[in-house]
Structure 1
């Protein structure tokens, strides 16, 4: 089993890299190459996927909000909405 484990890991990362490349936004792809070229590069199992994750994968455009802050969120239910309750 230990002999097969590296092959399974490379296969899983390769498939994840190809799916990630296919589903990423074409405007956010880095590296100066088009998304199609990056997808063709990721066809190379280990090297292509590593290049995608290091140089081509889009970076997150907005950082996640700090924990505990709810800036910009609206209440879900009408009875949780202060504006709705004021109008009753």
Structure 2
């Protein structure tokens, strides 16, 4: 089993480099066009030259000009509604709390309507039971 480990590591690096290259925006690719990098990774993947060259020289791994980050956390941090605003937890966010209060008011109004409808239906059933059966056919004995 241990003799397959080097092969699996090379395969994993090859797959990672290929997927990383394909998913990288063209603006972050350095040196060569993206198609050429894909071909280098595929053709020289078995000897590790292609994937290692891509990881070392093919992609910008630092902050990109324009304030956009290259890591997922930087991207999410910079692509929010207001990129300059600091992140606020939901329980400290006044807009979120206000929306909860509004939603709560709507739910309470809906519950009151349901309760009133239920009371009306119960009263209607009681009134029908008190009046007795009107349209029931006589039972044969």
TM-score by length of structure 1 reads 0.71
Task: Give 3-state SS (helix, strand or coil) of 1:60's partner.
Answer: coil
* Residue 16 (1) aligns with residue 16 (2): yes
**Greater radius of gyration (CA):** 2
2:87 to 58, 65, 73: 73
Superposed displacement of residue 56, structure 1? 0.3
Question: Residues 21 and 4 (structure 1 numbering): CA distance in 2 closer, same or farther, change over 3 Å?
Answer: same
Unaligned runs of 5+ in 2: 64-68, 78-84, 99-141
Q: Structure 1 CA distance, aligned partners of 2:94 and 2:62?
A: 31
Counterpart of 2:60 (choices 40, 58, 62) is 58
Which structure 1 segments of 5+ residues have no match? 66-70
Match of 2:3 in 1: 3
Larger RCO (alpha carbons 8 Å, 6+ apart): 1
- Measure, in 2, the Cα distance between the counterparts of 1:47 and 1:75: 45
Number of equivalences: 79
DSSP 3-state at the match of 1:33: coil
Q: In the TM superposition, what is the alpha-carbon distance from 1:80 to its structure 2 partner? A: 2.9
Structure 1 residue 37 corresponds to structure 2 residue 36? yes
CA distance in 1, matches of 2:40, 2:5: 24
Cα displacement string for residues 51-88 of structure 1 (whole angstroms, at most 9, x for unaligned residues): 000100221323858xxxxx5225547x7316x76xxx
